[in-house]
Each structure stands twice: as structure tokens, then as C-alpha cells.
Structure 1
């Protein structure tokens, strides 16, 4: 069995600071590689990752199909497979398409402008003063939930986020499951207090009519709330960090509507907020020249696939006019993340405000990444907004 020739520890400080050198070394091996540390096959090529994402018959997002026990709070739209997955995914996707409206975009532009104007002059930490508060305002604003009481929601969301690394940090698993249960119950209470016709109440009612179990709907709504603490602030911080390192200002980079539409996807490709995810083999099989046994993991490193030169020309460079940018940052196929529509809208409107107002981001110190493997996100981004 081909094994890793490069020691791959996702939580190694040097890897957290710059994983792309390690990804390139892994990808150069040209085949799925077995990791004893991760107890999984590690996939770094675009074609391999995409193939596993599309093949839910052989590779399960629902680990029960591979013989694992999955606690009920962990079952949501991302962790069940067709046909159980089909109805809840359809209801969520339709609802989020409706929410991603010109009216929401206008509210976001106004709010972003206000938040930028409220920043003090001189250097600030853009993570704690701008991107994280913006993300936590945006999610409830977009989907029609009560605005977050951070004293209640923050520790719950942080426990769920830490549990995403439970394959590496097993002690994070049980607190994460307890937090998933607590957050789903909170959302259930919010929905019960809503009037018929409110967007989230309507979503829950339509899911019930489609035969979706109520708890699966609550668990799936939980993933939207958690996005306000994971993928959404991560994508904002990563984008601003990359933007500040470019020579041209936003007003020159994003000078046309079609460029603004493409730019968020290029930022998502360049620095994936979610580095990867794992599927389990449902039965013994062969994949890309290696034997895969039932229950073995297939760790798809989206961030590595997004920099695969076999799929993307000059992958280590930002190209806001890149064509056919089918990155994997939000998955692909049946389990593609429906929340990507909201993340795209938020980043697009932020870039629009920066370009229209002639603002620039200038770094005033080194960016610091959080010590998380699954979510690539910044703890600090010292910078100045030049008006």
C-alpha cells in the first residue's frame, strides 16, 4: 500500500501557517496515499477528490452505511446520503436561493459601508473588529433567525468547530456532539416562536410536508448557524488577507460586474475555508490504483485539489477572470454546500463596497491562523483600511 512519504500532520504549526507546500509534495506522489495518523487515504488531486464526491454509492457521507455509529445530533444535510438526503437538500437549496436576493445584497452593502466607516483610523485587527462581527450579523439577517446572543451561541459554535478536528483531537468529539444537540434545540425554540409565513418557519413546514424528519431539519438549520462562526468569517478573512497582498487596489481589480461575480469564487479556490472532508468506503473496492477496504476513510483535501495544476493554470496566483473555475471549496455533486450562495453574496458585496469607495486594505503586521485543521481561518489580521 502506498504510504505518505511526507509526514503530514494537519495541526503542525508550520503546516497550519502554509499548507500548500505540503499539499504539493503529497500531490507529486501521483496516487492516493495511506496515512496511519489519519487512518485514511489522503487525496490531493482534483480528479480524485471530485470522483469521490460524485460517487455516493461507493463512498458514504453517512458513515452508518460503512458500519460506524453516528449520534443523532450529528445527522444533518451534510452527513446523510440519498435518498434520505434528497428532500432536505432540495428544500434548503430552494429556500436559500429565495433568500439570496437583490434586497439582501443592498442591505449587505449598506451594512458593510457602515462597519467600514466605524473602524477607527490606523491599524486594527480586521478579524475581531470586522470580519467576525460581519459574518455573525449576516447569517441571521440573511436567513431570518434572531440575531445571535454571543454569550449563548459562541461557546456552542466553538465546541462544534473544534469537533471538526476530532479525528486528530478525539477529546473534542463528545463536547461537539453535546453542542450540536444544544444548538439544534435552541433553533427549534426560535422556529416555534415564529409566525406562519416567516422564511425559516416556511422552510421547516415545507420540509415536514416533504417527509423530512423534524430533527433532521433542525440539525440542518444548525449548520447554517455554525457557518456564521466557521466558513463565512474564514472566507472573508482569507480574502482580505490575500487582497492586501496584491499590488493593484480593489477599484482597479474589480472594475466590472462580471469580474465582481467571479472574484469570490477565485478567493474561495485560492484559500479554501474548509480544507477537506472525509467519506468512508461502503464496501471493498479499488480506487485510482489502490485497494480500499470497507470502512476506510477517503480524506479529500479540497485546498490541495484547488491548487492542482492539472486542473487550474497557474494555481498559486489569483486570477479574477479565471474561466471554468469549478473549485471544490464547497464540495461538489449531491452534497455541494447550499450555503455557498450566501457566502458568495456577502464577499461579492464587500468587494463591491471596497471598489466603489476606492478603499484599500494595507497589512500592518503578520496574519495569524487559528490552530484548526479543518477550518482554515485567521485569528488576527493586523491591517489598516485606507479610505
Structure 2
């Protein structure tokens, strides 16, 4: 007789898995551990995808552009033109725009920008009211929304205009769970791309972002693709960048020894953001579609089926990371998957890394003490893991 116990347990676990469940939002890692213990990809009807939680399997899919597509058109899906960007193209089409973005962002992430960021961070910390405050609304989100325009050379965000657009795009990242969010997200993408077009046209020749667009044009990259790709950088100011700041500060408040005992030298300060990105990934995962029927880790994936790579689970895989549930700022090399891997590694991670490094630098230089006043709460989002309330007190 065939033993169906394992199959039953697997089915029950994946059927119960709901990324938007309040308990999962509070702490998804026990669920990720249980899914990873099943040993391979698991099919979820709720997510309409194979779910991958091991580091090895996620990395394999990220590197296999022949069989698994970021560009869903290759698997027979229709993708709105406004959604085509550096994140949705595959090599070789992807290579040109990614190279231009990465090169330009490395130039933008200058010592001058780092110095301005440190001064802004110090000023915003000094302006915090006494006692516990919600650091999300009082520090991390405002800082990120100041920093991204500074880095890209854009005018200061008009938040009344940008905030609802960014919110719609962020909600659409959960379109597989909330289908009603898809259409508003596509419409918001178009609005933001149009805004960026206006901003770029108003820039003086020689401005960093204007030069980025000119380089892309010279490389033969369609202007629409460039604008759409710049849109993803702007949205980072409302998603991954503030999320990574809040998640790191939350971790420091829960264990003050990290700041006192693990930080100190410039090398560790530069590496530390990667460990915070690994430990609490601001982007929980992303999906590829199978281009053709293919075998993956013992299961048959059919053309057009989704493969959801849970980066946050892979980043806690003990088969790849020693003591994965512990923050170790000396962990190096640290090949986490938070911002992807290989050709599709997110170029915006350059800016997220810089800002978190400068926040840590200022906190360390000023001998900051972080105290969590009460438990933090997370926004009801599946793709972006970001805090809604971080009741924190910072003293010097």
C-alpha cells in the first residue's frame, strides 16, 4: 500500500498557507521553515504557482532564463506595454537596460550623496519628539522619500500626487492574491511613467538622470522601456528602501547588542546592510513562468505555470546559511537572494544599501540606544514586508 501521509501533510500545509493571514504577517518564518522541510517545490492552488522555499531551488530558477521567464510574454501571457521594464525583460533584451541603470546608479551613489544623507539622517533624528514615536511615519518613510529624489536628481516628491500612485503599484504586486489590485496598478504605472517623462524633460543637460536616459537612447533602448525602468527606482522609495530601514531598526531594537557589539569598523558597516536584507527581506519573493515543460527538483513544471521563489525563506535556509535565524554582521560572503541573483539582481539595491549603511553609521557614531515600546505591526502586504507601526524610542 502507498504511504499517503507525507502527501496529505504537504497538501494540508500549502492549503493553509495564506501570506496575508495576520499570524503569517506577524511572523512568516515558522511557516517558511515548515514548507522548506517538505523538501521540494509544492503546488499552491491559492497562489496558482509552485512554491519554492530552499536557497538551491530559488537560485536555480533565477539563473535559468531558458526555462523560466521574467518576461511572461515568453510563456504566452499578455503583458501591458507600461509594465515592461528592466524587471520584466529577459536576456539578451534585459542586458542593455540593466547595464545602463547599474552603471549610472553606481555613479550616483557618490561620497557626496553619502555625506548629504548622513547630515539629513542626523537632522531627522534630532527632530524626533521625546519618547516613543512611530518611526515608520516619523523617520523611515520620510527619509526614503527624501533620499530617492536626491540620489536620482529629481525634484522633491509631491507626496499628494506620488503617494496614491505608489500605493496602487505596491498593492498590484499582490495581484495574484488580490486580482482587483491589478488594473489600478497598471494605470498607476502609466501615470508614474508620464510623470518621470516630464521630470526628465525639465532636467538640465548633464544632470545624472538625463545622462542615464541619453545613454539608454545611445544603446538603442526604447524610451518607454527606460521610463518604465526609472519608474521602478522611484517606487523603491515607497517599498524596498523604507521597508529595509524599518526592518533593520526593528531588529536593532529587539537586540541592542547588535549595534554595540557587532558594528565598529568600516568594513563591517559596509557589509552590515546585506545581513539585515538577508534576515528580514523587504521583498519576500517573486514569480517566474515556465517557458516550456521542464523538471525542477523532482516535480514536472508545465509551460505557463508559475514558480514563486520565496526569497525570505531561502535567506533562512540552514543548508546555505549557518545559524540563519541569528543576525551576524560578520557573515561574509553573504549571497542572499533579497534583491534577486545574477542577471536580474535589482540595480536599486545600490541605493537601499547606501541609505541603510549611512543610518547605521550615524546611529553608531552617536551611541544610539533603541528601545521598542510595544510590539511592532506589519502592513497587510504579501510581496513587500514592511512595518506599519514601529513604536520606538531612540536616545543618545
> What is the TM-score normalised by the length of structure 2?
0.96
**1:317-345, Cα deviation, whole Å (9 max, x unpaired):** 00010122100000001100001111111
Residue in 1 that maps onto 2:155: 146
Cα displacement (A) at 1:247 = 3.6
Is contact 1:307-1:316 (8 Å) kept? Answer: yes
Residue in 2 that maps onto 1:359: 368
Cα displacement (A) at 1:251 = 4.3
**1:271-298, Cα deviation, whole Å (9 max, x unpaired):** 0000000000000111111101000001
**1:140-185, Cα deviation, whole Å (9 max, x unpaired):** 1011111100000000000000000000000000000000000000
**In structure 2, distance between residues paired with 1:107 and 1:42:** 42
Cα displacement (A) at 1:119 = 0.5
Residue in 1 that maps onto 2:3: none
**In structure 2, distance between residues paired with 1:23 and 1:69:** 31
SS of residue matched to 2:215: helix
**39, 43, 58: which one aligns with 1:49:** 58
Q: Is residue 168 of structure 2 the alignment partner of residue 163 of structure 1?
A: no
**208, 225, 234: which one aligns with 2:243:** 234
Cα displacement (A) at 1:253 = 2.8
Is contact 1:285-1:292 (8 Å) kept? Answer: yes
Q: Number of matched residues?
A: 387
Q: Is residue 291 of structure 2 the alignment partner of residue 279 of structure 1?
A: no
Is contact 1:100-1:345 (8 Å) kept? Answer: yes
Q: Is residue 99 of structure 2 the alignment partner of residue 94 of structure 1?
A: no
Q: Is residue 355 of structure 2 the alignment partner of residue 346 of structure 1?
A: yes
SS of residue matched to 2:393: strand
Is contact 2:256-2:370 (8 Å) kept? Answer: no
Is contact 1:119-1:129 (8 Å) kept? Answer: yes
| Superposed structure 1 runs of 4+ greater than 6 Å apart | none
**1:4-59, Cα deviation, whole Å (9 max, x unpaired):** 44121111111111000000000000010011111110000000000000011110
> What is the TM-score normalised by the length of structure 1?
0.98
Cα displacement (A) at 1:249 = 6.1
**In structure 2, distance between residues paired with 1:206 and 1:28:** 47
Residue in 2 that maps onto 1:83: 92
The aligned runs of 1:316-335 (5 Å cut-off) are 316-335=325-344
RMSD over equivalenced CA pairs, Å: 1.1
Cα displacement (A) at 1:101 = 1.1
**125, 128, 137: which one aligns with 1:119:** 128
Is contact 1:100-1:342 (8 Å) kept? Answer: yes
**In structure 2, distance between residues paired with 1:65 and 1:128:** 41
SS of residue matched to 1:320: coil
Residue in 2 that maps onto 1:135: 144
Q: Which region of structure 1 is more displaced relative to structure 2, 224-233 or 190-199? A: 190-199
SS of residue matched to 2:371: strand
